[in-house]
Structure 1
Amino acid sequence: MQSTSENDTGLASVRVSAADQNPQRQLEVLGECNKVFTDKISGKSRGKRQALAVLLGYFRDDDTVRIASMDRLGRDTRDLYNIVAEITDKGAAVQFVNENITVDKNGKSPMDSLMLGILAAFAEFERRRIIERQAEGMAIAKAKGKYAQQSVLSDDDIEQSGR
């Protein structure tokens, strides 16, 4: 593949948290791209994100990697910065479409780099608050005897339900 220029459409990384989720919303936000790398897995473990690993070995100097939103690339601020640094250190740019932020190796836009840090920190804070509120709600429901943890289905259970 040739490196992308302003006339090219770039590469895209898409992630949904579960296999049954549809990445279409992200694909529409990204628009036309030369190649799309899609993971259907939680962002908790970067090591299990095979499409991200392929992307990180695929792009070339001056390519642009397009992401619909920051939370689709990194699980927390540190993870996001590490992935962005890995991409930009190899000479490519990262464009977050929803946030309208582009970060590149040359630091052409110090404001975009600043906004990346601020928005990533707020996103991580919001995620932690959601988890905190969820735990509080579960504790209240357990105290009232109204909480029953859902059982996890095995592969055999899923296979039998499809028959």
Structure 2
Amino acid sequence: MILKGRAWKFGDDISTDHITPGRYYHLRSNLPELAKHVMEDANPDFAKLVKPGDFIVAGKNFGCGSSREHAPRVIKLAGVSAVLAKSFARIFYRNAINIGLPLLIVDTNGIDEGDQLEVNLSTGEVKNLTKGTSISARPLPDVMIRILQEGGLVNYVKKYGDVRV
């Protein structure tokens, strides 16, 4: 799985409140509308300017805070192809893979806002096409790749049943 897009850079400790601001909690049953406010508290222009295929690139502890499943869902609905960060909150990581949003743990120091990236989820290679550099991320396990290819855990289980891998 190779993904290409532009980097949107964020710092450390981006919480689920940064991703889905609590003041929009009433929209939790209308995820397309909630996605219009994704990352609003971290970058007010993000939801208006993000393009399908773009990447969120962050520091440590991305997705910390509450275990809202809405957070990775609205990131995906906004068109983000993957999130690259130095580390993720455990529950956010699990929720993202389960809904089909790819995440890679990688040193993001060499990536700047607006850089064009090419990400190979199977090998973990992150090419910065803007700078002509390459960074090695921890590749995703095969089972996660298969879940992502099916669009998330629910689709995977519907197709293959409750298969132990």
**Same structural fold, with TM-score higher than 0.5 when normalized by the shorter chain:** no
> Which structure is richer in relative contact order (CA contacts within 8 A, separation 6 or more)?
2
Query: What TM-score comes out, normalization by structure 2 length?
Result: 0.32
Query: What TM-score comes out, normalization by structure 1 length?
Result: 0.33
Q: Which has the higher strand share?
A: 2
Q: Which has the higher helix share?
A: 1
